[in-house]
Protein backbone atom coordinates (compact mmCIF):
# COMPACT_ATOMS: atom_id res chain seq x y z
CA UNK A 1 0.00 0.00 0.00
CA UNK A 2 1.45 3.36 -0.98
CA UNK A 3 2.22 5.91 1.68
CA UNK A 4 0.04 9.05 1.67
CA UNK A 5 1.67 12.21 0.45
CA UNK A 6 3.22 14.28 3.24
CA UNK A 7 1.08 17.17 4.41
CA UNK A 8 1.84 20.83 3.92
CA UNK A 9 0.42 22.88 6.75
CA UNK A 10 -0.43 26.58 6.95
CA UNK A 11 -0.83 28.37 10.28
CA UNK A 12 -2.36 31.83 10.50
CA UNK A 13 -1.15 33.53 13.67
CA UNK A 14 -3.04 36.12 15.68
CA UNK A 15 -2.65 37.40 19.21
CA UNK A 16 -5.15 35.00 20.78
CA UNK A 17 -5.56 32.14 18.32
CA UNK A 18 -3.89 29.98 15.69
CA UNK A 19 -5.82 28.78 12.61
CA UNK A 20 -4.43 25.59 11.10
CA UNK A 21 -5.13 24.23 7.61
CA UNK A 22 -3.56 21.24 5.85
CA UNK A 23 -3.20 20.17 2.23
CA UNK A 24 -5.35 17.02 2.41
CA UNK A 25 -8.81 16.29 3.80
CA UNK A 26 -7.65 17.07 7.35
CA UNK A 27 -10.25 19.33 8.92
CA UNK A 28 -9.26 22.94 9.52
CA UNK A 29 -9.18 23.83 13.21
CA UNK A 30 -8.39 26.67 15.61
CA UNK A 31 -6.45 26.58 18.88
CA UNK A 32 -5.30 29.15 21.41
CA UNK A 33 -1.95 30.86 20.89
CA UNK A 34 -0.34 29.43 24.01
CA UNK A 35 1.43 26.29 25.19
CA UNK A 36 -1.82 24.30 25.29
CA UNK A 37 -2.53 25.26 21.70
CA UNK A 38 1.02 24.37 20.64
CA UNK A 39 0.65 20.92 22.22
CA UNK A 40 -2.68 20.40 20.42
CA UNK A 41 -1.06 21.24 17.07
CA UNK A 42 1.90 18.94 17.73
CA UNK A 43 -0.40 16.09 18.77
CA UNK A 44 -2.49 16.52 15.62
CA UNK A 45 0.47 16.76 13.26
CA UNK A 46 2.17 13.69 14.72
CA UNK A 47 -0.65 11.56 13.29
CA UNK A 48 0.52 12.46 9.79
CA UNK A 49 3.66 12.76 7.72
CA UNK A 50 4.31 16.51 7.53
CA UNK A 51 6.55 17.96 4.81
CA UNK A 52 6.43 21.64 5.72
CA UNK A 53 4.72 24.03 8.11
CA UNK A 54 4.37 27.61 6.85
CA UNK A 55 3.38 30.77 8.67
CA UNK A 56 3.91 34.46 8.09
CA UNK A 57 5.80 36.82 10.35
CA UNK A 58 3.34 38.53 12.70
CA UNK A 59 5.31 40.96 14.81
CA UNK A 60 6.92 38.20 16.85
CA UNK A 61 3.64 36.46 17.74
CA UNK A 62 4.70 33.53 15.54
CA UNK A 63 8.04 32.88 17.24
CA UNK A 64 6.79 30.74 20.14
CA UNK A 65 4.73 28.33 18.03
CA UNK A 66 7.41 28.15 15.32
CA UNK A 67 10.12 27.32 17.87
CA UNK A 68 7.88 24.71 19.52
CA UNK A 69 7.28 22.98 16.20
CA UNK A 70 10.96 23.10 15.25
CA UNK A 71 11.89 21.62 18.61
CA UNK A 72 9.62 18.67 17.78
CA UNK A 73 11.39 18.07 14.48
CA UNK A 74 8.97 19.74 12.06
CA UNK A 75 10.38 21.85 9.23
CA UNK A 76 9.03 25.38 9.62
CA UNK A 77 9.24 28.33 7.23
CA UNK A 78 8.30 31.88 8.22
CA UNK A 79 7.64 34.16 5.26
CA UNK A 80 7.25 37.89 4.86
CA UNK A 81 3.56 38.96 5.08
CA UNK A 82 3.90 40.82 1.78
CA UNK A 83 4.95 37.60 0.06
CA UNK A 84 1.96 35.76 1.50
CA UNK A 85 -0.45 38.52 0.46
CA UNK A 86 1.00 38.71 -3.05
CA UNK A 87 0.56 34.94 -3.35
CA UNK A 88 -3.05 35.23 -2.17
CA UNK A 89 -3.82 37.86 -4.81
CA UNK A 90 -2.17 35.74 -7.48
CA UNK A 91 -4.40 32.82 -6.47
CA UNK A 92 -7.51 34.99 -6.62
CA UNK A 93 -8.16 35.36 -2.89
CA UNK A 94 -9.55 38.86 -2.39
CA UNK A 95 -11.21 38.30 0.98
CA UNK A 96 -9.00 38.14 4.04
CA UNK A 97 -9.99 36.18 7.15
CA UNK A 98 -7.97 34.01 9.50
CA UNK A 99 -9.35 30.78 8.03
CA UNK A 100 -8.79 31.95 4.45
CA UNK A 101 -5.26 33.07 5.32
CA UNK A 102 -4.51 29.62 6.75
CA UNK A 103 -5.67 27.97 3.50
CA UNK A 104 -3.59 30.41 1.45
CA UNK A 105 -0.51 29.60 3.54
CA UNK A 106 -1.17 25.89 2.99
CA UNK A 107 -1.21 26.37 -0.78
CA UNK A 108 1.91 28.52 -0.57
CA UNK A 109 3.58 25.78 1.49
CA UNK A 110 2.80 23.27 -1.28
CA UNK A 111 4.51 25.53 -3.82
CA UNK A 112 7.54 26.10 -1.60
CA UNK A 113 7.79 22.38 -0.84
CA UNK A 114 8.22 21.68 -4.57
CA UNK A 115 10.56 24.62 -5.10
CA UNK A 116 14.09 23.61 -6.22
CA UNK A 117 15.52 25.97 -3.58
CA UNK A 118 13.18 24.78 -0.84
CA UNK A 119 15.88 24.84 1.84
CA UNK A 120 16.34 28.57 1.32
CA UNK A 121 12.94 29.18 2.93
CA UNK A 122 13.67 27.07 6.00
CA UNK A 123 16.10 28.30 8.59
CA UNK A 124 16.63 27.63 12.25
CA UNK A 125 14.80 30.08 14.48
CA UNK A 126 16.61 31.83 17.34
CA UNK A 127 17.34 29.78 20.44
CA UNK A 128 16.28 30.98 23.89
CA UNK A 129 19.53 32.88 24.51
CA UNK A 130 19.32 34.76 21.21
CA UNK A 131 15.63 35.53 21.76
CA UNK A 132 16.47 37.01 25.16
CA UNK A 133 19.21 39.16 23.63
CA UNK A 134 16.87 40.29 20.85
CA UNK A 135 14.29 41.32 23.44
CA UNK A 136 16.90 43.41 25.25
CA UNK A 137 18.02 45.02 21.98
CA UNK A 138 14.42 45.97 21.22
CA UNK A 139 13.94 47.38 24.71
CA UNK A 140 17.14 49.41 24.42
CA UNK A 141 15.88 50.84 21.13
CA UNK A 142 12.62 51.81 22.85
CA UNK A 143 14.41 53.46 25.78
CA UNK A 144 16.62 55.48 23.44
CA UNK A 145 13.56 56.67 21.50
CA UNK A 146 11.89 57.80 24.73
CA UNK A 147 15.09 59.45 25.94
CA UNK A 148 15.51 61.40 22.70
CA UNK A 149 11.88 62.51 22.87
CA UNK A 150 12.24 63.79 26.45
CA UNK A 151 15.49 65.60 25.68
CA UNK A 152 13.86 67.28 22.70
CA UNK A 153 11.01 68.46 24.93
CA UNK A 154 13.30 69.89 27.59
CA UNK A 155 14.54 73.11 25.97
CA UNK A 156 11.24 74.57 24.67
CA UNK A 157 9.25 73.48 27.74
CA UNK A 158 7.82 75.84 30.32
CA UNK A 159 9.99 76.05 33.48
CA UNK A 160 7.13 74.43 35.37
CA UNK A 161 7.69 71.20 33.41
CA UNK A 162 11.49 71.07 33.32
CA UNK A 163 11.85 69.33 36.69
CA UNK A 164 9.43 66.60 35.61
CA UNK A 165 11.21 66.12 32.30
CA UNK A 166 14.62 65.96 33.99
CA UNK A 167 13.27 63.34 36.39
CA UNK A 168 12.10 61.19 33.49
CA UNK A 169 15.41 61.68 31.66
CA UNK A 170 17.37 60.56 34.74
CA UNK A 171 15.14 57.49 35.17
CA UNK A 172 15.55 56.56 31.50
CA UNK A 173 19.33 57.02 31.64
CA UNK A 174 19.54 54.80 34.74
CA UNK A 175 17.37 52.12 33.14
CA UNK A 176 19.39 52.28 29.93
CA UNK A 177 22.64 51.82 31.85
CA UNK A 178 21.19 48.85 33.76
CA UNK A 179 19.91 47.26 30.55
CA UNK A 180 23.24 47.66 28.76
CA UNK A 181 24.97 46.05 31.74
CA UNK A 182 22.58 43.09 31.50
CA UNK A 183 23.21 42.84 27.76
CA UNK A 184 26.97 42.77 28.25
CA UNK A 185 26.63 40.07 30.90
CA UNK A 186 24.33 38.01 28.66
CA UNK A 187 26.77 38.24 25.75
CA UNK A 188 29.73 37.21 27.94
CA UNK A 189 27.80 34.19 29.20
CA UNK A 190 26.41 32.96 25.87
CA UNK A 191 28.20 34.58 22.90
CA UNK A 192 31.68 35.31 24.21
CA UNK A 193 33.72 33.86 21.33
CA UNK A 194 31.80 35.36 18.44
CA UNK A 195 31.45 38.69 20.30
CA UNK A 196 35.22 38.90 20.74
CA UNK A 197 35.76 38.24 17.05
CA UNK A 198 33.26 40.90 16.05
CA UNK A 199 34.67 43.41 18.53
CA UNK A 200 38.13 42.96 17.03
CA UNK A 201 36.89 44.80 13.93
CA UNK A 202 37.69 48.50 14.13
CA UNK A 203 34.58 50.62 14.45
CA UNK A 204 32.43 47.81 15.88
CA UNK A 205 31.44 48.48 19.48
CA UNK A 206 29.56 46.57 22.15
CA UNK A 207 26.07 47.76 21.21
CA UNK A 208 26.69 47.13 17.52
CA UNK A 209 27.78 43.59 18.40
CA UNK A 210 24.59 43.15 20.44
CA UNK A 211 22.42 44.24 17.51
CA UNK A 212 24.32 42.01 15.08
CA UNK A 213 24.01 38.94 17.30
CA UNK A 214 20.32 39.58 17.92
CA UNK A 215 19.20 40.51 14.42
CA UNK A 216 21.54 38.50 12.16
CA UNK A 217 21.53 34.83 13.23
CA UNK A 218 23.39 33.82 10.04
CA UNK A 219 26.39 35.88 11.09
CA UNK A 220 27.89 33.02 13.07
CA UNK A 221 28.03 30.95 9.89
CA UNK A 222 29.54 33.80 7.89
CA UNK A 223 32.48 34.57 10.16
CA UNK A 224 34.78 31.61 9.27
CA UNK A 225 34.72 32.54 5.58
CA UNK A 226 37.17 35.42 5.78
CA UNK A 227 37.13 35.96 2.05
CA UNK A 228 33.39 36.60 2.02
CA UNK A 229 31.73 39.89 2.75
CA UNK A 230 29.58 39.45 5.88
CA UNK A 231 26.67 41.43 4.52
CA UNK A 232 26.39 39.02 1.61
CA UNK A 233 25.90 36.09 3.97
CA UNK A 234 23.30 37.77 6.17
CA UNK A 235 20.84 39.02 3.57
CA UNK A 236 21.43 42.73 4.08
CA UNK A 237 22.95 43.52 0.72
CA UNK A 238 20.72 45.46 -1.67
CA UNK A 239 19.08 43.54 -4.48
CA UNK A 240 20.57 43.95 -7.95
CA UNK A 241 18.33 43.91 -10.98
CA UNK A 242 20.44 42.90 -13.93
CA UNK A 243 17.57 42.73 -16.39
CA UNK A 244 15.21 45.11 -18.19
CA UNK A 245 15.12 48.76 -17.16
CA UNK A 246 16.70 50.49 -15.34
CA UNK A 247 20.00 48.68 -15.62
CA UNK A 248 21.92 47.96 -12.41
CA UNK A 249 19.12 49.43 -10.31
CA UNK A 250 19.27 48.77 -6.58
CA UNK A 251 16.23 48.57 -4.35
CA UNK A 252 15.63 48.13 -0.64
CA UNK A 253 15.61 44.51 0.45
CA UNK A 254 16.31 42.60 3.63
CA UNK A 255 15.66 43.48 7.26
CA UNK A 256 15.08 47.11 8.11
CA UNK A 257 16.13 46.47 11.70
CA UNK A 258 19.71 45.84 10.68
CA UNK A 259 20.07 49.15 8.87
CA UNK A 260 21.49 50.48 12.14
CA UNK A 261 24.08 47.72 12.01
CA UNK A 262 25.47 47.99 8.48
CA UNK A 263 24.85 51.75 8.46
CA UNK A 264 27.70 52.19 10.93
CA UNK A 265 29.95 50.00 8.81
CA UNK A 266 29.15 52.01 5.69
CA UNK A 267 30.25 55.17 7.46
CA UNK A 268 33.45 53.59 8.74
CA UNK A 269 36.35 54.51 6.40
CA UNK A 270 38.20 51.38 7.56
pLDDT score recorded for residue 120: 84
pLDDT score recorded for residue 118: 86
* Count of domains forming the chain: 1
Whole-number Å distance between alpha carbons of 254 and 270: 24
Residue 90 lies in a domain: yes
CATH number of the domain bearing residue 53: 3.30.420.40
pLDDT score recorded for residue 55: 92
Residue 29 lies in a domain: yes
Q: What is the mean pLDDT of the chain?
A: 82
Whole-number Å distance between alpha carbons of 73 and 24: 21
Residue 38 lies in a domain: yes
Residue 24 lies in a domain: yes
Confidence of residue 172 (pLDDT cuts 50, 70, 90): very high
Among the residue ranges 76-80, 102-106, 164-168, 202-206, the one predicted with the least confidence is 202-206
Whole-number Å distance between alpha carbons of 176 and 147: 9
Calculate mean pLDDT across residues 104-116: 91
Which residues are CB-neighbours of 70 under 8 A, at least 6 positions away? 76, 124, 125
Q: Number of C-alpha atoms within 13 angstroms, CB side, residue 204? A: 17
Residue 207 lies in a domain: no
DSSP run (H or E) holding 51: strand 50-56
Other beta carbons within 10 angstroms of residue 59's beta carbon come to: 9
Residue 263 lies in a domain: no
Burial of 184 (0-12, 13-18, 19+ CB in 10 A): middle
Q: Is the dihedral of CA 86, 91, 92, 94 positive or negative?
A: negative
Residue 108 lies in a domain: yes
Residue 106 lies in a domain: yes
Where in 66-212 does DSSP place strands (E)? Answer: 76-79
Could you list the residue range(s) of the whole structural domain that residue 113 is in? 7-121
pLDDT score recorded for residue 137: 93
Distances from the Cα of 102 to the Cαs of 26, 71, 95, 215, in angstroms? 13, 22, 12, 27
Amino acid sequence: MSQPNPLCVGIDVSKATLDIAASSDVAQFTVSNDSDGFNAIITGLRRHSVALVLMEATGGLEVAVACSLQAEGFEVAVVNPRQARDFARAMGYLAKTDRIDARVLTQMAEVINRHPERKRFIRALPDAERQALAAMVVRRRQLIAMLVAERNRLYPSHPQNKKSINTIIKALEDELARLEKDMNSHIRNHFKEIAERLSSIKGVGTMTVSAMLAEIPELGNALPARNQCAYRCCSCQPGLRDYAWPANHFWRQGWRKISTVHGCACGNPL
